[in-house]
């Protein structure tokens, strides 16, 4: 993949943002992941972290701890040089991860409301939400918290007017054609369709976060009995 078009802007005095456009799409997301992988491989002195998102890549740097000071101007030039060549592929290690979801009932308090908003039946909402693979664009908000998309345009519904102060761990929610899965009990304003028994973040694992940017996600509907079986199995492994 050849060097992409992007703009550079400062985010304070210790962060540089590379903007690859404003449209949230799989193509733009993959471009951000490719750019981030390429920049990480370059091991730029002074850069402490590289974080891809839907349409941008943030480079965090320390201006004054090296013999040659890192400045916005010098880092911009270095980034332009690195990204002018061949980029590493974003999907070199991508995986397809199936996420079992028990939709509706106690696990999905917003399923009926989403059905009304979209003009679908509850069964049609479930079918469309689980119909095709989606991609993890980024992690944020809390450890292991994924931002997943992009869904059918019919799911272009805004977040709830009044966010919940507590959303149960494992809740699968949707807003603005995107999905998320809450890794822990957190506040949130997305529409909750169901829940998964999977643990998205566990410090006992070698890789604590179950999902990583670039992963392909397939939501798989399950019933309450299967949810309870999987939850018991997962809890048993951890004890």
Four-CA torsion 23, 29, 31, 201, nearest 10 degrees:
160
pLDDT at 239: 47
Q: Which helix (H) or strand (E) holds 154?
A: none
The residues with which 61 forms a beta bridge, in sequence order, are 47
Give the rounded distance of the alpha carbon of 56 from its chain centre.
13
pTM of the model: 0.84
Note whether 57 and 65 are within 8 A (CB).
no
Cα–Cα distance measured from residue 47 to residue 59, given in angstroms and rounded to the nearest whole number: 7
Residues of each domain in the chain carrying CATH 2.40.100.10: 96-238
pLDDT at 114: 98
User: What CATH homologous superfamily does 96-238 map to?
Assistant: Cyclophilin-like (2.40.100.10)
Contacts of 127 (CB under 8 A, 6+ apart): none
Four-CA torsion 17, 21, 25, 28, nearest 10 degrees:
-60
pLDDT at 82: 95
pLDDT at 220: 98
Phi/psi of residue 37, nearest 5 degrees:
-60, -40
In three-state secondary structure terms, 149 is: strand
pLDDT at 236: 74
Sign of the dihedral defined by the CA atoms of residues 25, 37, 146, 190, in that order: negative
Q: Specify whether domain 7-83 bears CATH 3.30.1360.40.
A: yes
Angle between helices 72-83 and 26-42 (to 10 degrees): 110
Note whether 191 and 110 are within 8 A (CB).
yes
Residues of each domain in the chain carrying CATH 3.30.1360.40: 7-83
pLDDT, block means (10 residues), the chain with 239 residues: 81 94 86 93 93 93 77 94 88 80 98 97 97 90 93 95 96 96 97 98 93 93 97 77
pLDDT at 92: 53
Contacts of 111 (CB under 8 A, 6+ apart): 103, 104, 122, 125, 126, 192, 193, 194
């Amino acid at each position: 993949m050849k060097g992409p078009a992007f703009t550079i802007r400062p985010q304070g005095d210790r962060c540089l943002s590379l903007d690859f456009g404003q449209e949230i799409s799989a193509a733009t997301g993959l471009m951000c992941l490719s750019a981030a992988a390429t920049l990480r491989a370059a091991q730029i002195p002074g850069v402490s972290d590289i974080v891809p998102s839907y349409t941008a890549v943030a480079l965090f740097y320390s201006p004054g701890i090296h013999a040659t000071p890192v400045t916005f101007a010098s880092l911009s030039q270095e980034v332009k040089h690195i990204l002018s060549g061949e980029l590493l592929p974003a999907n070199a290690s991508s995986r397809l991860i199936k996420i079992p979801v028990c939709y509706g009932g106690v696990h999905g308090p917003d399923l009926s409301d989403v059905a009304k908003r979209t003009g679908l039946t509850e069964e049609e909402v479930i079918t469309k939400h689980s119909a095709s693979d989606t991609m993890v664009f980024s992690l944020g908000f809390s450890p292991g918290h994924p931002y997943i998309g992009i869904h059918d345009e019919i799911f272009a519904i805004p977040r709830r007017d009044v966010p919940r102060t507590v959303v149960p761990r494992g809740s699968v929610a949707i807003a603005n054609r995107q999905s998320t899965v809450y890794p822990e009990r957190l506040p949130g304003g997305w529409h909750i369709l169901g829940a998964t028994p999977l643990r998205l973040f566990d410090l006992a694992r070698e890789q604590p976060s179950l999902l990583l940017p670039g992963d392909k996600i397939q939501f798989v509907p399950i019933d309450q009995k299967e949810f309870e079986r999987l939850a018991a199995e997962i809890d048993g492994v951890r004890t």
